[in-house]
Amino acid sequence: MNASLLPDMLEATRLTRAGRLTEAMVLLRQRLGGNAPATTAAGPVPQPGLPRLPAPQASPDATARPKARWAPSHPRPAWGLKPGTRPELPLPAGAQFLEASFSGAAGRCTYKLYIPSQMATPAPLVVMLHGCTQSPDDFAAGTRMNALAEEHGFLVAYPAQTPAANAQKCWNWFRPGDQSREQGEPALIAGITRQVMREQPVDPNRVYVAGLSAGGAAAAIMASAYPDLYAAAGVHSGLACGAARDLPSALSAMRQGAAGRMAQARGAVPTIVFHADRDTTVHPRNGDQVIAQSDLGGLSQEVQQGQVPGGHAYRRTIHRDSQGRAVLEQWLVHGGGHAWSGGSSAGSYTDPLGPDASAEMLRFFLEHPRAGSSAA
């Protein structure tokens, strides 16, 4: 960082911690020459360097959020887990949505775990990383991943970021200390993954990670740092691993895109990317750069155009290796914003008019088991 910017960065941090976000953003825009994303009356003010999600765009079934509905009580299960905050949608008979925590050298992190009423043995595991201001319950409701888990018999873990770690509950994807294996937040997320693998009948070759926005950037980091743990990754409206190293570079990457660290030959994890071309929070170019980060060369491309009935058009690009296997997949949603494509208005920051990102990610995941023995 330019030394002359340091006092202003410290002042912006102080203003942010005091809740004076507008003043912090004005200061940053003045000092960074317009690199900070502009705010509008249409959405909340972003926190400097932290990709806060904007207000959801209006859609036919997103004009009113349904009232919370409490799930029936369940007996306390085994494995030391306890029932957590009730999800907004009722649980199927025999299913459980539990709260637990993981503690390790990097600290402590809570999470929610969905266990379907009928589970495959061994079962796939999907680790879902929420976006800024969200919670595991909110993210589960919006993505409907638990409903897919119930249908297909897999487990879903939702690590929870805390306000103590980030005031807007964003994963700290832009900090070098949270971008590497067995350090910071990656160590916590991997620790949660391994704990669930130990305590549940998980198939170690079918463990996956996905996320939205800051959670999408964190998912890209996890795929880069732990190619031996995750068989595939899903990045929705996120950024490439290593796209930023501090607050100014994070703002720049969100505004105009930034390349990340290239994957190693043995470390490229199959990845599916969703991004909308009217995303004004995280530039759509970042989706291209997530794909580029995992492209080791020699891939052919197949482009398909589609349209959701009554919803958005999209472009799906499939990248195949020399043996015809689809190793990368990119969905560009035309007309969508910074929201989970095809999600439910029961959760925040969803676009019900887009193609179903949850179903497509799951389909891609199950097409890509990891060869080899247990990674735990």
Tens of pLDDT, residue by residue over 275-305, are: 999 999 999 999 999 999 988 788 999 999 9
Ranking 10-24, 66-80, 233-247, 305-319 by mean pLDDT, the lowest is 66-80
Which whole number is the average pLDDT over 56-73? 30
Ranking 97-106, 116-125, 261-270, 286-295 by mean pLDDT, the lowest is 261-270
Q: Quick one: angle between helices 357-366 and 145-152, nearest 10? A: 40
Is the pLDDT at 211 greater than 90? The verdict is yes
Tens of pLDDT, residue by residue over 131-178, are: 999 999 999 999 999 999 999 999 999 999 999 999 999 999 999 999
What confidence score (pLDDT) does residue 34 get? 41
What confidence score (pLDDT) does residue 51 get? 36
The top-scoring range by mean pLDDT among 78-92, 215-229, 291-305 is 215-229
Smallest CA-to-CA distance from 131 within 158, 155, 156, 112 is with 158
Average pLDDT of the chain is 82
Amino acid at 33: G
Q: Is there a contact between 304 and 255 (Cβ–Cβ < 8 Å)?
A: no
Considering the domain delimited by 84-366, tell me its CATH architecture: 3-Layer(aba) Sandwich (3.40)
What confidence score (pLDDT) does residue 338 get? 98
Smallest CA-to-CA distance from 251 within 262, 235, 239 is with 239
Domain boundaries, the chain: 10-35, 84-366
Determine how many CB atoms are found less than 10 A away from the CB of residue 52: 22
Q: Is there a contact between 277 and 315 (Cβ–Cβ < 8 Å)?
A: no
Ranking 39-43, 117-121, 162-166 by mean pLDDT, the lowest is 39-43
pTM: 0.78
Residues 317, 113: Cα–Cα separation, whole Å: 32
**DSSP β-bridge partners for residue 171:** none
